Amino acid sequence: MSLNNIIDLRSDTVTVPTPAMREAMASAEVGDDVFGEDPTVNRLQEMAAERLGFEAGLFVASGTQGNLIAVMTHCQPGDEAIVGDQTHFYLGEQGGMASIAGVNPRPLPNQPDGTMRLEDIQAAIRGDDAHYPITRLIAIENTHNKIGGVAVTAEYTLALAEFAHARGLKLHVDGARVFNAAAALDVPVSALTGPADSATFCLSKALSAPVGSVLCGSRDFIKAAHRRRKVLGGGMRQAGILAAAGIVALEEMPQRLKDDHANARLLADGIARIPGLTPVGNVPTNMVYFDIDPGLPFDGHELCRRLERMRIKALLTGARRIRAVLHCWISREDVLETLRALDTAVKDGDKMTSSGAKVGSY
């Protein structure tokens, strides 16, 4: 069902808490989490770690904060981390790896399946030379946002973890939407995270909780990460009110993610039948990217504006590329309404204008 009669496809970050989450938040038992005394936060952290295949977890404000904490914990200033050149880690987190953690990012090409080639990683690992930063970390994203929400396989993750560990490196998984990946691949989420040394996932995207992510790793890693969270202002005190929604998200939301994936494919199939619009990739999870044919006399700004007049929001990610993300507040009927609106918007007028619409990736 759409919210407030608006079909908002910009991101799964626009999800609002379910009634069960609101009830849990209202009745949550709380304490001071900086002292480790919030029982609801502690329960969420334990649940998250168990699901992802780790010893311990740390509730953090966002995936960006969790990723930065992971870098600060695995690396020292002056070290280097190998990342994909299309990852949110590299493109969408304001360069915090370098500007705050003091860690040099070494971007390598992401392949169409979201991976980096092992031979490229091998070639990028720095030798023992005082001129160079020391390679400490490899980081991957799953699902991979910029490559159409592709799910990186358990086989690749395991192979990459073994590759990294054989060379004395750590592996971090930015699993903002890793539960979508698990649903798409029909594997336990731990198969996509457990081989790594740490992983984050977002409660506030497709799992529909209002705030937060969880960073998971070994007990020693999380103990060190707790210190980094504090210096970044991440001590949220009575955070059990927020964690309570996260517990409901973990218990109730992963099993319905395949519905979002089915709606995404329905949307992509419908877009493919609208002359002048072309879906990008095979839409494996809940993201649909589509391009506007250069022959059409309007750009993405104008198409988004036309859609918004029909109470539909989508995200502009390039001059002629748009992203739509399916989530629990978008029904099959909303998808069909969106397709009708897209068909109308493409046919409605032929004057291309410019606007100040924001380009983003969230």
- One pLDDT digit (tens) per residue for the chain, 362 residues: 667 789 999 999 999 999 999 999 999 999 999 999 999 999 999 999 999 999 999 999 999 999 999 999 999 999 999 999 999 999 999 999 999 999 999 999 999 999 999 999 999 999 889 999 999 999 999 999 999 999 999 999 999 999 999 999 999 999 999 999 999 999 999 999 999 999 999 999 999 999 999 999 999 999 999 999 999 999 999 999 999 999 999 999 999 999 999 999 999 999 999 999 999 999 999 999 999 999 999 999 999 999 999 999 999 999 999 999 999 999 999 999 999 999 999 987 544 344 444 445 45
Percentages helix, strand, coil for the chain, rounded to the nearest 5? 40, 20, 40
HSE at residue 209, side-chain half, CA atoms within 13 A, is 32
Same domain as 233, residue 282: no
Predicted pLDDT of residue 191: 98
Predicted pLDDT of residue 198: 98
272 alpha-carbon distance from chain centroid = 26
DSSP 171-187: EEEE-TTHHHHHHHHTS
Same domain as 69, residue 37: yes
Q: Rounded distance, CA 150 to CA 160, Å?
A: 17
Same domain as 264, residue 183: no
Contacts of 343 (CB under 8 A, 6+ apart): 274
- Parent domain of 189: 15-252
Phi/psi region, residue 2 (left: phi>0; alpha: psi -120 to 50; beta: rest), is beta
Same domain as 284, residue 248: no
Establish if 310 belongs to a structural domain. Answer: yes
Predicted pLDDT of residue 2: 67
DSSP 31-60: --GGGT--HHHHHHHHHHHHHHT-SEEEEE
CATH number at 219 reads 3.40.640.10
Establish if 199 belongs to a structural domain. Answer: yes
Establish if 353 belongs to a structural domain. Answer: no
Same domain as 304, residue 234: no
Same domain as 246, residue 108: yes
Same domain as 294, residue 146: no
Predicted pLDDT of residue 347: 87
Establish if 263 belongs to a structural domain. Answer: yes
Q: Rounded distance, CA 246 to CA 60, Å?
A: 11
| 8-state DSSP, 256 | G
Beta bridge partners of 322: 290, 316
In the chain the beta strands, taken as DSSP E runs, fall at 7-8, 56-60, 80-84, 104-108, 135-141, 170-174, 198-202, 213-217, 277-280, 287-292, 312-313, 315-318, 321-325
Predicted pLDDT of residue 362: 53
Contacts of 360 (CB under 8 A, 6+ apart): 315, 316, 317
Count of Cβ atoms closer than 10 Å to residue 273 Cβ: 9
Dihedral pair phi/psi, residue 143, rounded to 5°: -70, 165
Q: Rounded distance, CA 215 to CA 263, Å?
A: 29
CATH number at 304 reads 3.90.1150.10
Predicted pLDDT of residue 4: 74
Predicted pLDDT of residue 304: 96
Of 252, 269, 295, the residue at which a domain comes to its end is: 252
Same domain as 260, residue 240: no
- If 0-12 CB within 10 Å is exposed, 13-18 middle and 19+ buried, where does residue 338 land? buried
Question: Total structural domains in the chain?
Answer: 2
Same domain as 219, residue 277: no
